[in-house]
């Protein structure tokens, strides 16, 4: 990838925040048998806003943004086309849910949004796992993206959850942060024992200041939760900053095979 790809950083992180919010909404609704908690319409509005801003940002990655619809012409063989379609469906469902929200909201729209959101995660994971990037030509992008969705979803869901669900969201948040830290600390080290391009990727990640900013911010989030036992209102913003830093590393420090053409493997 070898560049910051800010439009893709924003699209992937914000779309995963939106998907994570829907997942946490489902978790809370299954746990709470009474009427809906918090401002359901505002929650769906935030979900739609995250996805809408992410999609708008992704257009700046295109050479001809007004022809973005052409990305749909290869649905039968291109994961990018499937990602675009799934993201569009998810956004439409979120907007519809925000407009029609009453009480707990529509369970049909919620489960349709979950299905569309998981499709976005899968398609994104496959899109950013090409053979030309050996270090991530596997399930790792999907794992990274799912962790981000759970971290950000649990964090931002705390803005809307009732008091009875705050401990549950805090536990999910902590678990996702711990898993994320373990994955992000061990994966670059594992790359060091791989092929030459994988080794270069591991060295690039470990040598990138933003990588350590990401790790430090995730650790800081854990420290705050250990002290407070609940999610302060500002903590999801810190988690969002951490994920943006980590995603920038993903796009800018993952080495392409072309970088080692003529080199020894």
DSSP string, 128-183: T--TT-GGGSSSHHHHHHHHHHHHHHHHHHTTT--GGGHHHHHHHHHHHHHHHHHH
The domain tally of the chain equals 1
CA distance linking residue 208 with residue 190, whole number of Å: 17
Residue 168: give the domain boundaries.
6-260
66: CATH: 1.20.1630.10
Residue 1: inside a domain, yes or no?
no
Does residue 73 form part of some domain?
A: yes
138, 140, 143, 144 alpha-carbon torsion, rounded to 10°: -150
- Whether pLDDT at 34 is above 60: no
pLDDT digits (tens, 9 = 90+) for 112-167: 999 999 999 999 999 999 999 999 999 999 999 999 999 999 999 999 998 889 99
Question: What DSSP string describes 89-135?
Answer: HHHHHHHHHHHH--TT--HHHHHHHHHHHHHHHHHHHHHT--TT-GG
Q: What are 6's two structure tokens?
A: 């800010």
Instruction: Give the pLDDT confidence of 63-118 residue by residue, as tens digits.
Output: 555 555 566 666 777 888 899 999 999 999 999 999 988 766 788 999 999 999 99
Q: Has residue 19 been placed in a domain? A: yes
Residue 55 lies in a domain: yes
| Sign of the alpha-carbon dihedral angle for 89, 92, 94, 96 | negative
**Residue 265 included in any domain:** no
* Whole-angstrom distance, CA of residue 142 vs CA of residue 18: 16
181, with CB counted inside 10 A (0-12, 13-18, 19+), is middle
Look up residue 255 and give its DSSP letter.
P
**Is residue 255 situated within a structural domain?**
yes
231 in the Ramachandran plot: left (φ > 0), alpha (ψ -120 to 50) or beta? beta
Least confident of 17-31, 95-109, 193-207, 209-223: 95-109
Q: Mean pLDDT lowest for which of 59-68, 191-200, 246-255? A: 59-68
């Amino acid at each position: 990838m070898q560049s910051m790809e800010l439009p893709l950083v924003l699209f992937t992180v914000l779309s995963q925040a939106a998907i994570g919010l829907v997942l946490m909404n489902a978790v809370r609704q299954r746990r709470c048998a009474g009427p809906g908690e918090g401002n359901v319409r505002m929650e769906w509005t935030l979900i739609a806003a995250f996805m809408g801003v992410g999609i708008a940002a992704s257009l700046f990655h295109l050479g001809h943004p007004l022809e973005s619809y052409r990305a749909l012409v290869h649905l039968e063989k291109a994961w990018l086309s499937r990602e675009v379609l799934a993201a569009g469906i998810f956004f439409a469902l979120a907007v519809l849910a925000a407009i029609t929200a009453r009480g707990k909201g529509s369970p049909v729209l919620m489960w349709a949004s979950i299905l569309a959101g998981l499709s976005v995660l899968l398609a994104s994971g496959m899109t950013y796992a090409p053979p030309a990037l050996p270090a991530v030509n596997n399930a790792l992008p999907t794992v990274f993206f799912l962790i981000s969705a759970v971290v950000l979803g649990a964090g931002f869901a705390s803005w809307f959850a009732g008091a009875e669900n705050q401990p549950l969201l805090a536990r999910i948040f902590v678990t996702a942060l711990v898993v994320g830290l373990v994955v992000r600390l061990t994966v670059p080290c594992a790359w060091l024992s791989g092929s030459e391009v994988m080794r270069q990727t591991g060295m690039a990640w470990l040598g990138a200041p933003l990588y350590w900013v990401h790790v430090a911010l995730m650790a800081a989030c854990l420290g705050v939760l250990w002290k407070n036992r609940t999610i302060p209102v500002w903590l999801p913003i810190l988690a969002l900053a951490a994920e943006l830093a980590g995603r920038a590393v993903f796009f800018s420090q993952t080495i392409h095979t072309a970088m080692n053409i003529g080199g020894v493997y």
